[in-house]
């Protein structure tokens, strides 16, 4: 597949997903760990937690080179503070984002930035012959789900399960994976990813356990998986880790160690200096971006020159979750056009700025 075709496909996907209410994850490089053992121990736990969150891979710390680097965790710590909790003292640790990204880059591990898809979870539990939506916020499955998604840095949307929902979807629809009904009921939430989750008690050789089965659709395909655990918290942790691993395969970006690419982005709908600077800052926050400059501005349209260590298609893929930049559909034959001059690259894509 040619680079032009890949970029065209990503742009069309961006346009189709332009209304999605994606989220920007806060504190992506901040860890919360138990304040037990030596300083070296909680520092290693903090680095491991952040590496898993930023890569989306639960097994990233088992790689020999990464495991060895955990012994040098102190070099990644920027600041920390002790926090009292009802269940004991903990350490809140802020890691150096640049160093964490560089570590992953050195070992060709993709980096998943702060812009991540909003994930809508339809949750059904089976108790004997009865199936019911898990609606109560304080239910152990929901509290476990919220905690697990927070630790994995996955933006969570939970349905209201109000009359509008219950008129469009039933527990059996989620259980059986009737996606016509699931998608119909999900439209009001404008989610980027919709997941149908079912939980049941099962008997195994290890004794009675909880089994969670989930499925989602993407690009016309249905993906299914399952995990088991002895309690709700462990079950949801395994689910969040598995889902993060799947989504990071699509949305995380591999940063090149060979140098930066120069990209040119066109943004329209900018009518003040404050908006010009705001877009510049939004672009600078993206994974792999080292520099953003405004090449030209005229009549509400600005051209931004971007130095990035991720490829153009990965850069556009990450931009799909930016709430304030809506892609403008180009003609397929003109995706790469409008060079400013002979020394600058052609325009990669055009976006419309959405003011909050």
Domain that holds residue 58: 27-106
146 neighbors 156 (Cβ within 8 angstroms): yes
Output the pLDDT for position 334.
40
Among 109, 98, 71, 91, CA closest to 31: 91
198 neighbors 174 (Cβ within 8 angstroms): yes
Q: SS3 of 189, please?
A: helix
Which helix (H) or strand (E) element contains residue 326?
strand 325-327
Distance of CA 130 to the CA centre of its chain: 34
Q: What is the mean pLDDT of residues 14-30?
A: 63
User: Does one domain contain both 244 and 128?
Assistant: yes
Q: SS3 of 54, please?
A: helix
User: Does one domain contain both 60 and 119?
Assistant: no
Q: What is the pLDDT of residues 112-152, one digit of tens each?
A: 988 889 999 999 999 888 999 999 999 999 999 999 999 99
Query: CA-to-CA distance for 193 and 206, rounded, in angstroms?
Result: 33
Among 244, 118, 117, CA closest to 189: 118
User: Does one domain contain both 100 and 157?
Assistant: no
User: Does one domain contain both 241 and 264?
Assistant: no
Output the pLDDT for position 21.
45
Output the pLDDT for position 16.
39
User: Does one domain contain both 179 and 70?
Assistant: no
Q: State the Rg of the chain over Cα.
A: 22
Among 209, 212, 236, 235, CA closest to 224: 212
Q: Among the three residues 200, 218, 251, which one is the final residue of a domain in this structure?
A: 251
* pTM of the predicted protein model: 0.80
User: Does one domain contain both 181 and 279?
Assistant: no
**Is residue 185 predicted with pLDDT exceeding 80?**
yes
252 neighbors 117 (Cβ within 8 angstroms): no
**What are the backbone angles phi and psi of residue 288, rounded to the nearest 5°?**
85, -10
For the chain, give the mean pLDDT.
87
Q: Are strands 88-95 and 30-34 parallel, antiparallel or unpaired?
A: antiparallel
Q: Which of 27-36, 113-122, 201-210, 238-247 has the highest mean pLDDT?
A: 238-247
**Is residue 332 predicted with pLDDT exceeding 60?**
no
């Amino acid at each position: 597949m040619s680079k032009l075709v890949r970029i065209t496909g990503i742009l069309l996907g961006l346009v189709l997903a332009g209304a999605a209410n994606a989220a920007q994850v806060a504190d992506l490089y901040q860890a919360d760990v138990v304040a037990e053992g030596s300083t070296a121990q909680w520092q290693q736990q903090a680095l491991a937690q952040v590496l898993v969150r930023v890569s989306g891979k639960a097994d990233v710390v088992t790689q020999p080179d990464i495991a060895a680097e955990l012994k040098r965790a102190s070099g990644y710590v920027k600041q920390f503070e002790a926090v009292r909790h009802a269940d004991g003292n903990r350490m809140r640790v802020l890691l150096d984002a640049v160093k964490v990204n560089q570590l992953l880059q050195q070992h060709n591990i993709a980096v998943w930035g702060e812009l991540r898809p909003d994930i809508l979870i339809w949750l059904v539990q089976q108790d004997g012959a009865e199936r019911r939506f898990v609606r109560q916020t304080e239910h152990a499955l929901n509290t476990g789900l919220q905690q697990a998604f927070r630790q994995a840095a996955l933006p969570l949307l939970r349905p209201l399960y109000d009359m509008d929902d219950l008129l469009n979807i039933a527990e059996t629809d989620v259980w059986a994976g009737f996606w016509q009904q699931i998608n119909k009921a999900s439209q009001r939430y404008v989610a980027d990813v919709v997941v149908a989750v079912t939980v049941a008690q099962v008997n195994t050789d290890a004794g009675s356990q909880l089994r969670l089965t989930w499925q989602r659709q993407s690009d016309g395909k249905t993906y299914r998986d399952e995990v088991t655990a002895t309690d709700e918290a462990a079950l949801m942790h395994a689910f969040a880790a598995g889902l993060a691993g799947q989504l990071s395969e699509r949305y995380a970006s591999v940063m090149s160690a060979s140098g930066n690419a120069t990209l040119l982005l066109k943004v329209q709908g900018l009518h003040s200096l404050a908006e010009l600077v705001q877009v510049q800052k939004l672009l600078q926050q993206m994974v792999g971006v080292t520099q953003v400059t405004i090449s030209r501005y005229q009549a509400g349209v600005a051209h931004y020159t971007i130095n990035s260590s991720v490829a153009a298609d990965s850069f556009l893929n990450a931009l799909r979750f930016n709430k304030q930049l809506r892609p403008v559909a180009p003609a397929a034959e003109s995706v790469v056009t409008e060079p400013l001059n002979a020394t600058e690259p052609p325009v990669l894509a055009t976006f419309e700025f959405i003011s909050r």
